[in-house]
């Protein structure tokens, strides 16, 4: 049976056909953003990548009519390390317009959260102002991962490589990924379990210059402490922040001190 990832990727292929017919040669001069890797690597506090997420396959509508600029400014003012903008429309109701409007509003690292399988999507992410893109190992062959990683690197973008298990971690390490995200959500069953971060952390090469980020299912201080305890330096948080009535308090609850947590 086709998984949600299969369905999303089938839809992406159709969109890429359209993107390839559009002219994307005029690149607006955008602000230079600080490096997400440097920020996470040096920080003594767990850093938050705060996501703008209108809807999702697992939860349906979350905040369809959110104003992405206002949300991004709230995240920025509350101390987010990076803003993640979901740009997929059919499944998440996001857009590249959301990304571009956020890019004009905040100066921090900006992640284009999409299902990237073709270089034209990387071009579009850069055009819209992203400084980081996501590559999902489960969505790509080893060759595609290597080529897209190199393409993004050459375009001056940082790459967050998303893994779900030990084999995918190996692929991420092989392409030289420095920002590695463990998605706690099973993309087939939607089951979310922070144990995934713990399992990957147990084999993660922390002695190398790499950063572990825990993605999905982070709701409260205890969740942040749990992943920080095993070595995560950042968390990618969507739904809990989108549903929070007070972004400042919600973010603050997750900004745990790394030094105070013993492995």
Ligand X SMILES: O=C(O)c1ccccc1NCC(=O)[C@H](O)[C@H](O)COP(=O)(O)O
Q: Which is nearer to ligand X, 146 or 185 (CB)?
A: 185
What distances in angstroms separate CA 102 from CA 28, 68, 96, one per listed residue?
15, 7, 10
Active site residue 113: yes
Tell me how far, at minimum, the Cβ of 125 lies from ligand X, in Å: 16
Q: Which is nearer to ligand X, 152 or 215 (CB)?
A: 215
Phi-psi group of 176: left, alpha or beta (phi > 0 → left; psi -120 to 50 → alpha; rest → beta): left
Q: Which is nearer to ligand X, 236 or 250 (CB)?
A: 236
Tell me how far, at minimum, the Cβ of 86 lies from ligand X, in Å: 6
Marked catalytic residue, from 162, 168, 198, 239: 162
Q: Which is nearer to ligand X, 153 or 190 (CB)?
A: 190
Q: Which is nearer to ligand X, 198 or 215 (CB)?
A: 215
Tell me how far, at minimum, the Cβ of 113 lies from ligand X, in Å: 7
Residue 93 CA to chain centroid, in angstroms?
16
Tell me how far, at minimum, the Cβ of 132 lies from ligand X, in Å: 14
Active site residue 101: no
Q: Which is nearer to ligand X, 70 or 191 (CB)?
A: 191
Marked catalytic residue, from 74, 171, 183, 184: 183
DSSP string, the chain: ---HHHHHHHHHHHHHHHHTTS--------PPPPPHHHHHHH-SB-EEEEEE-SEETTTEES-TT--HHHHHHHHHHTT-SEEEEE--STTT---HHHHHHHHHH--S-EEEES---SHHHHHHHHHTT-SEEEEEGGGS-HHHHHHHHHHHHHTT-EEEEEESSHHHHHHHHHTT-SEEEEE-B-TTT--B-THHHHHHHTT--TTSS-EEEEES---SHHHHHHHHHTT--EEEE-HHHHH-S-HHHHHHHH--BSTT---
Active site residue 143: no
List residues binding ligand X (CB under 6 A).
4, 51, 53, 56-58, 183, 185, 187, 190, 215-218, 236-240
Tell me how far, at minimum, the Cβ of 144 lies from ligand X, in Å: 18
Marked catalytic residue, from 158, 168, 215, 239: 215
* Separation of alpha carbons 40 and 29, rounded Å: 26
Active site residue 29: no
Active site residue 64: no
Active site residue 215: yes
Active site residue 162: yes
Tell me how far, at minimum, the Cβ of 187 lies from ligand X, in Å: 5
Instruction: Name the closest residue to ligand X (Cβ).
Output: 238
Marked catalytic residue, from 12, 50, 84, 113: 113
Marked catalytic residue, from 12, 51, 168, 178: 51
Marked catalytic residue, from 131, 171, 184, 216: 216
Catalytic sites, residue numbers: 51, 53, 113, 162, 183, 215-216
């Amino acid at each position: 049976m086709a998984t949600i990832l299969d369905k999303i990727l089938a839809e992406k292929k159709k969109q890429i056909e359209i993107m390839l017919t559009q002219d994307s040669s005029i690149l607006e001069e955008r602000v230079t953003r600080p490096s997400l890797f440097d920020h996470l690597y040096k920080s003594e506090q767990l850093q938050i990548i705060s996501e703008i997420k209108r809807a999702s396959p697992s939860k349906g509508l979350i905040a369809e009519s959110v104003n992405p600029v206002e949300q991004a400014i709230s995240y920025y003012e509350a101390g987010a390390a990076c803003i993640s903008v979901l740009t997929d429309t059919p499944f998440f109701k996001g857009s590249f317009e959301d990304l571009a409007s956020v890019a004009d509003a905040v100066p921090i690292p900006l992640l284009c959260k999409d299902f990237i399988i073709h270089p034209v999507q990387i071009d579009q992410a850069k055009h819209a102002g992203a400084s980081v893109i996501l590559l999902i190992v489960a969505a790509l062959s080893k060759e595609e991962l290597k080529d897209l990683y190199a393409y993004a690197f050459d375009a001056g973008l940082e790459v967050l490589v998303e893994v779900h298990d030990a084999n995918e971690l190996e692929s991420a390490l092989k392409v030289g990924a420095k920002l590695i995200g463990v998605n706690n959500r099973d993309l087939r069953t939607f089951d979310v379990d922070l144990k995934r971060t713990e399992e990957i952390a147990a084999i993660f090469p922390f002695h190398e210059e790499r950063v572990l980020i825990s993605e999905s299912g982070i709701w409260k201080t205890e969740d942040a402490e749990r992943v920080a305890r095993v070595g995560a330096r950042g968390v990618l948080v969507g739904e809990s922040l989108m549903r929070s009535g007070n972004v400042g308090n919600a973010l603050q609850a997750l900004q745990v001190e790394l030094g105070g947590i013993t492995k």
